């Protein structure tokens, strides 16, 4: 019989029963939906990004499947506002013990901090600061080490619970951004957010999303997410949460090998919430067969091969 303790992991001061966390933006904020996922075997939940007031976002179509398991979305940070979210946080925490992470945004650093304070007061376990949504005003924050530091520091000063900084892949060198978040006090880094993309109607040339440009998620970005975690891992001393294109237990292991302490799953949920139990079972069977006592024993394993990787391509003689 497999031992579920093999999947336990820690991020900052939070204990997760397994490394699978719901990514922000997938479900609404209804406690019934979040509790259903908790019963389905997920280890933690990240809410939709919430701001100071109700926001309706962009008109439909705001999300489309552009390839098998790959999506393009431009929701525009639609959310019910922090006043409603406070009620949902409180209701969820009455019925579940798994960590609840609230994703926040606001009007400037102080706005982020104020939303975070209200979410903490409502009973959430951690804050994820959304400084990287590719189709909203916050997109430019995580392109700048200075802004990343400023926003992260403001939120960290405002709350006593862990703060996670969610970073963008839409940048040439993410390492200075990750280091800026760490220096500002971030307790973990979440990577990656979606990549900027565009889909056009092949008959008319018209953009398929109402907003035009959106964020690409799902299977197509997994190797990018794994690469980003791999690149950040040697340069920071805080946990990493890997996001992007995770559909099965093998995908989870890739992120863990690259350096992730946990992962977030989003697009795959469109297949049904049964995926969490299936992924956990696959991980347990693998760990049992490999005689690994805990999944975190595999974290960063890919880096032992760094010196064996070829540097320059061979030239013709």
Assign residue 146 the CATH number of its domain: 3.20.20.70
19-44 as b/e: b if 16+ CB within 10 A: bbbbbbbbbebebebbbebbebbbbb
Residue 310 in any domain: the answer is: no
Q: Please say if the pLDDT value at position 218 is more than 60.
A: yes
Quick check: helix, strand or coil at residue 224? Answer: helix
Question: What is the Cα–Cα distance from 287 to 283, expressed in whole angstroms?
Answer: 6
Quick check: helix, strand or coil at residue 250? Answer: helix
Residue 316 in any domain: the answer is: no
| pTM for the model | 0.95
3-state helix, strand, coil in the chain (%, to 5): 40, 20, 40
Catalytic site positions: 133
pLDDT for res 137:
67
Q: How many domains, in total, are found in the chain?
A: 1
Tokens 């970073």 appear where? 167
Q: What is the pLDDT of residues 257-292, one digit of tens each?
A: 999 999 999 999 999 999 999 999 999 999 999 999
Domain span including residue 247: 4-301
Alpha-helical (H) ranges within 51-198 are 82-95, 108-122, 145-158, 175-183
Residues 9-13, mean pLDDT to the nearest whole number: 96
pLDDT for res 201:
97
Sequence-ordered list of residues with C-beta below 8 angstroms from that of 283, at least 6 positions apart, any chain: 6, 7, 18, 249, 252, 253, 295
Residues 142-154, mean pLDDT to the nearest whole number: 96
Question: What is the Cα–Cα distance from 140 to 17, expressed in whole angstroms?
Answer: 34
Residue 317 in any domain: the answer is: no
Cβ neighbours, 10 Å, residue 143:
17
Q: Please say if the pLDDT value at position 50 is more than 60.
A: yes
Contact 20, 269 (CB under 8 A): no
Residue 313 in any domain: the answer is: no
Residue 314 in any domain: the answer is: no
Residue 311 in any domain: the answer is: no
> Residue 27 — pLDDT band, cuts 50, 70, 90?
confident
Cα angle value 131/133/137 (rounded, 5°): 75
258-295 as b/e: b if 16+ CB within 10 A: bbbbbbbbbbbbeeebebbeebbeebbebbeeeeeeeb
Q: At what angle do helices 145-158 and 175-183 cross, to 10 degrees?
A: 30
Residue 255 in any domain: the answer is: yes
Residue 315 in any domain: the answer is: no
Cβ neighbours, 10 Å, residue 110:
13
Structure tokens at 68: 């098998």
Instruction: Express as a percent the part of the chain with pLDDT over 70.
Output: 96
Rg (CA), the chain: 19
């Amino acid at each position: 019989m497999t031992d579920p303790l093999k999947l336990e992991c820690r991020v900052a001061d939070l204990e997760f029963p397994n490394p699978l966390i719901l990514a922000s933006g997938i479900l609404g904020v209804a406690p019934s939906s979040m509790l259903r996922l908790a019963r389905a075997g997920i280890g933690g939940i990240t809410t939709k990004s919430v701001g100071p007031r109700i926001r309706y976002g962009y008109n439909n179509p705001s999300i489309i499947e552009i390839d098998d398991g790959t999506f393009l979305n431009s929701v525009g940070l639609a959310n019910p506002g922090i006043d409603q979210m406070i009620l949902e946080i409180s209701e969820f925490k009455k019925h579940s013990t798994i960590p609840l992470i609230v994703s926040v945004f606001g009007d400037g650093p102080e706005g982020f901090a104020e939303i975070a304070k209200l979410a903490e007061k409502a009973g959430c376990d951690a804050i994820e600061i959304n400084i990287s949504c590719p189709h909203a005003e916050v997109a430019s924050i995580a392109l700048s080490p200075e802004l990343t530091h400023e926003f992260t520091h403001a939120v960290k000063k405002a709350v006593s619970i862990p703060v996670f900084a969610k970073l963008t892949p839409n940048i040439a060198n993410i390492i200075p951004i990750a280091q800026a978040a760490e220096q500002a006090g971030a307790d973990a880094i979440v990577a990656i957010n979606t990549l900027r993309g565009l889909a056009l109607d092949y008959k008319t040339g018209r953009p398929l999303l109402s907003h035009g440009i959106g964020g690409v998620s799902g299977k197509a970005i997994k190797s990018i997410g794994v690469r980003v975690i791999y690149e950040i891992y040697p340069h920071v001393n805080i946990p990493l949460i890997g996001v992007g294109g995770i559909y099965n237990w093998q995908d989870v292991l890739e992120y863990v090998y690259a350096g992730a302490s946990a992962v977030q799953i989003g697009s795959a949920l469109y297949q049904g919430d049964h995926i969490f139990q299936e992924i956990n079972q696959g991980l347990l069977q693998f760990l049992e067969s490999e005689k690994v006592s805990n999944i975190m024993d595999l974290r960063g394993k890919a880096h032992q091969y760094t010196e064996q990787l070829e540097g320059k391509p061979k030239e013709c003689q």
